[in-house]
Structure formats: C-alpha cells, structure tokens
Structure 1
Amino acid sequence: MIRVLIVEDQKIMQKYFEYIILQNPEFKLVDTVSDAREAVKICNYSAIDLVLMDVQTFHNHDGLTAGKTIKEEHPGTKILVVTSLIDPKVLERAKTGCADSLWYKDHGEDEICDVMIRTLNGEHVFPDVTPNVELNWITSGEISPRQLEMLRLYICGMSYSEIAKKMNCSTSGVRWNFQEMIAKAGYSCKEDLIAAALESKLIVTTLK
C-alpha cells in the first residue's frame, strides 16, 4: 500500500487530488493539509511514501522548502510538486533537491497519474521548460531569461543601478531592456508589465 499525503490549500484541488488517489486501490490517502509546514510535521511521525506538494500553500508557506526538509530527513519519501506557478525559478529550485518530480496542474489526470507512478519508481520527471503565458501582445517565452531576471530583481526592490551591478552590466543597459520588454509586450508603462507578470504567476515573490 502506497501512503500518500496531499498538500494543497485550494479546496477544489484538494478534492481533485483526493479523487485521483482514492480511485487507485494501491494508494492510501493518509491526510490532506493546506500548509506545507504541517506536511513536515506529519512526515516526522507517519510513514509517507509520496507527497503531492503544492508550492504556494497556506499563509504563502513555501512547499519547495518543505519538500527539501522532508527529503533530507526522510530520504525514502518521494516529493511530487504539482503547481500552477509558471515562474521559472520554481522549476529551477525544484530540481535542486526540493522535489523528485514536478508537474503542472493544468495537465490532465492521466498525465499526473503517470508522473506519480514514475516518481514512485525512482524517476525524476521535470518539464524541459515552463509553460508560456500571454503578456498582452506576446507570450512570456519571448522575454529572454536575462530580461526576466532583471524584472524579478526590480520587483524584489532593486533599483536599475543595483540590478546593473548584480548582473554585471550598465544601468543604461538595464533601462534599455525594460524599455524593450514594455514596447514588445505593448504596455504603456513599466507598472503594467509588472502587474501582468505578477498576475500571471510568471514571477512569484511572496513565498515564505
């Protein structure tokens, strides 16, 4: 019997994952919790084979940090991150010991079930790239990774000059990249670009 823990703060997704688990006679649903920190506590006193882990959980607690803790303390427990956050940093972090696999919520039930089984069998299943989202006239894939990092740093509170220093370029170069992103996407100002990036979950800065 494969013991499964679901970590998800949205009720509709909780029910969806519970349905998937309960349909398979080889799975046993141990619990469903909304807080990633609670998942760490449960794994400390219950034998869990697979954790379906959201990234942005209750109180914005970080599922990736929880996943890393669980994997360090309980190496036999598999962590499958299932998220709607398309921020490339999420995928990047997941691959650095925070999860065994990662998949996106908008994929179908059959795909997620397949990833669960492959993860339990010892595979590491990660998408090659994050999904694209629309940003007015363009998709997020038309923004370079370097430009996206500049946008992230600005949202995190850095000035153009601080971004330039961190990324080893000129302040005018940072300004030019922002102007290009704004013009390419068809926004009227930097604030509109930032709002779109946050609303689409292309950039996430609220995880604790």
Structure 2
Amino acid sequence: MVRVLIVEDQKIMQRYFEYILLQDPEFRHVDTVADAEEAVKICTYSAIDIVLMDVQTFHNHDGLKAGKAIKEACPYTKILIVTSLIDPKVLERAKSGCADSLWYKDHGEEEIRDVIWRTVKGEHVFPDVTPSVELNWITSGEISPRQLEMLRLYICGFSYAEIAQKMNCSRAGVRWNFQEMISKAGYSCKEDLIAAALESKLIVTTLK
C-alpha cells in the first residue's frame, strides 16, 4: 500500500488528484492539504511514501522549499512536484535536490499515475525541458536562457546596472537584450513583455 499526501491549494485540482488515486487500489490517500508548510509537519509524524506537491501553495508558500525540508527530515518519503508553472527555474530547483520527480498538470491522468509509480520505485522522472508558451509573435523557447534570467532579475526589482554587474556584462548589453526580446516578440514596450511573462507563468516571483 502506497501512502500518498496531496499538497494543492486549488479545490478542482485537489479533487482531480484524489480521483486519480482512487483508480488504483494500491494507493492510500492519507490527506489533502493546501499549505506546503503543513505538509512538512504531517510528514514528520506520519508515515508518507510519496507527496504530490504543488509549487505555489496556500499563502504562496514554496512547495519546492517544503519538498527539500521533507527529504532532509524523511529520506524515505518521495517528493513528486506536479505543477502548471513552466518557469525553468522551477525545474532547475526541483532537479537540485528539492524533489525526486517533476511533471506538469496538463498531462493526462494515466501519465501522472505512471510517474507516481516510477517515483515510488526510486526512479527520478523529469522533463528534458520546460514547455514553451506563446509570447505574441514567438514562443518562450526563442528567448535565450541568459535573456530570460535578465528578465527575471528586472521583474525582481534589479536595475539595468545591477543586472549588468550580476551577469558580468555592460548596461548597454542588458538594454540591447531587452530591446531584442521586445522586438522579436512584437511588443510595443517592456511592460507588455513583462506582463506576458508573468501571465503565462514563464516567470514566477511570488513564492515565499
């Protein structure tokens, strides 16, 4: 019997994951909680085999941070991140020790169930790359990782000069990269590019 904890703050997704678990008699649904920090407490006093963990949970608490805490306190508990956030930083952090596997919510239930079982058995399942989203004239895959990091830093409040210092380039170089992103995507200004990146969940800056 595989004991499963669901960490998800959206009611419709809670019901969806519960439904997936009910389809397999080998799964035992232990609990569903909305807050990643609560999941850490549950795992420390309950025997949980695998946690289905969202990234952005109640109060914007960080599911990846919680996943790392659970793995450190309960080494035999597996963490499967199931998210709709396509921010490459999410996948990078998951692979760095915050989770055993990561998959995306828009995949079918059979595929998610398969990833659950593979993770329980000790396999690490991660996509090779994050999905692409449309940004007006282009897809997010046409923006280089370096440009994406510049955009992330700017959204987080860094100035062009601070981004240049952090990324070892000139302020003019930062400005050029922003102009190229805006031009390629067909936006009229930097604010439109930023709005699209946030709305599409290409960049996430609200996790606590």
Category of TM-score, reference length = shorter chain? over 0.9
What is the identity, as a one-letter code, of the residue corresponding to 1:204?
A: V
Tell me what 2:79 maps to. Answer: 79
* Structure 1 counterpart SS, 2:122: coil
Please state if 1:112 is matched with 2:112. yes
* Structure 1 counterpart SS, 2:127: coil
C-alpha RMSD of the superposition: 0.4
1-side partners of 2:117 and 2:104: how far apart? 16
1-side partners of 2:169 and 2:103: how far apart? 35
**1:98 Cα deviation after fit:** 0.4
Please state if 1:99 is matched with 2:99. yes
**1:7 Cα deviation after fit:** 0.2
TM-score by length of 2: 0.99
2-side partners of 1:21 and 1:40: how far apart? 21
* Structure 2 counterpart SS, 1:5: strand
2-side partners of 1:166 and 1:98: how far apart? 25
For structure 1, list consecutive stretches of 5 or more residues without a partner in the other structure: none
* Structure 1 counterpart SS, 2:168: coil
What is the identity, as a one-letter code, of the residue corresponding to 1:36?
A: A
CA deviations 1:28-56 (Å, max 9, x no partner) are 00000000001001001100001000000
Tell me what 2:11 maps to. Answer: 11
**1:23 Cα deviation after fit:** 1.2
2-side partners of 1:183 and 1:27: how far apart? 50
Alignment of 1:178-189 (within 5 A): 178-189=178-189
What is the identity, as a one-letter code, of the residue corresponding to 1:148?
A: L
1-side partners of 2:2 and 2:125: how far apart? 19
2-side partners of 1:147 and 1:74: how far apart? 38
Alignment of 1:2-41 (within 5 A): 2-41=2-41
Aligned structure 1 segments of 4 or more residues deviating by more than 2 angstroms: none
TM-score by length of 1: 0.99
What is the identity, as a one-letter code, of the residue corresponding to 1:117?
A: W
* Structure 2 counterpart SS, 1:158: coil
Tell me what 2:125 maps to. Answer: 125
Q: Give the total of aligned pairs.
A: 208
1-side partners of 2:162 and 2:37: how far apart? 34
**1:22 Cα deviation after fit:** 1.2
2-side partners of 1:21 and 1:75: how far apart? 23
What is the identity, as a one-letter code, of the residue corresponding to 2:182?
A: I
Please state if 1:161 is matched with 2:161. yes
1-side partners of 2:3 and 2:118: how far apart? 16
What is the identity, as a one-letter code, of the residue corresponding to 1:67?
A: G
Please state if 1:150 is matched with 2:150. yes
Please state if 1:207 is matched with 2:192. no
CA deviations 1:142-170 (Å, max 9, x no partner) are 00000000000000000001100100001
Tell me what 1:136 maps to. Answer: 136
What is the identity, as a one-letter code, of the residue corresponding to 1:181?
A: M
Tell me what 2:45 maps to. Answer: 45
2-side partners of 1:181 and 1:108: how far apart? 33
